[in-house]
Every structure is written in structure tokens, then in C-alpha cells.
Amino acid sequence: QKEVEQDPGPLSVPEGAIVSLNCTYSNSAFQYFMWYRQYSRKGPELLMYTYSSGNKEDGRFTAQVDKSSKYISLFIRDSQPSDSATYLCAMSDGTASKLTFGTGTRLQVTL
């Protein structure tokens, strides 16, 4: 079993929809949680960075962390075609920077 599980999709939604992306994990030592967006043939870019449990909002993006359930989510409101990309969750225990990534969820937002 992988330390971080993520549904690979693809997930197709119409423009304007609310998108929910999720990851589960098994390592209770993880304290830092990130979401990266990766366009085709590009490197990942950081979207959200959260510590421990709780919510964090940035524009149309909201990240949620539930450490008791070992479950994290990324919500995208008013989705746009430019949001079409692969979304990777990543986690760290904070001691040595090593990030453990999910497999990524491919999202397509259609007109």
C-alpha cells in the first residue's frame, strides 16, 4: 500500500463547477500538506501549503486537512478551462524536507 493515495481520474467538469480533489495517507507523522498543479510537459507549481489540520483559502482555492481521518482535500470554485491540469498532493513530516507525492488527479474543465 502506498503512503499517499490519490484517485488518478480523469475528472471532467463543466466550466463554473466546484471541483473536489482528495488524498488519503497512512503516515501519521505527516504534518505539512501541499497541493501542486502540473500542466502537461511542465514542472509542478505550488498552489497551497498548509500545516496540521484546518482550512486555508486563497482566491478560488480552498485546502482542507483532517489529520484525524488522514484525509486532505482541495476545492476549486468557479472552475475555468485554464484549471485543466494534473493536481498532485504532497506531504512531509517536516524533518528533512522529503516530499511524498500522490499519483496526481487529471482534471479537465470543459466549456
Partner 1 sequence: EAEVAQSPRYKITEKSQAVAFWCDPISGHATLYWYRQILGQGPELLVQFQDESVVDDSQLPKDRFSAERLKGVDSTLKIQPAELGDSAMYLCASSLVTGTDTQYFGPGTRLTVL
Stretch that binds partner 1, among 4-12, 53-61, 62-70, 77-85 (CB under 8 A): 4-12
Residues 6+ apart with CB under 8 A from 55: 62, 63, 64, 65
In whole angstroms, give the CA distance from residue 72 to residue 55: 10
Report the residue number, 26 or 78, with the smaller CB distance to partner 1: 26
| Min CB(78)–partner 1 separation in Å | 25
Non-local CB neighbours of 73 within 8 Å, separated by 6+ positions: 20, 21, 22, 23, 63, 64
3 is a contact residue toward partner 1 (CB under 8 A): no
| Least separation in angstroms between CB 62 and partner 1 | 19
Touching partner 1, residues 36-95 (CB under 8 A): 36, 41-46, 49, 51, 88, 90, 92, 94-95
- Report the interface residues with partner 1, using CB under 8 A: 4, 6, 8, 32, 36, 41-46, 49, 51, 88, 90, 92, 94-99, 101-104
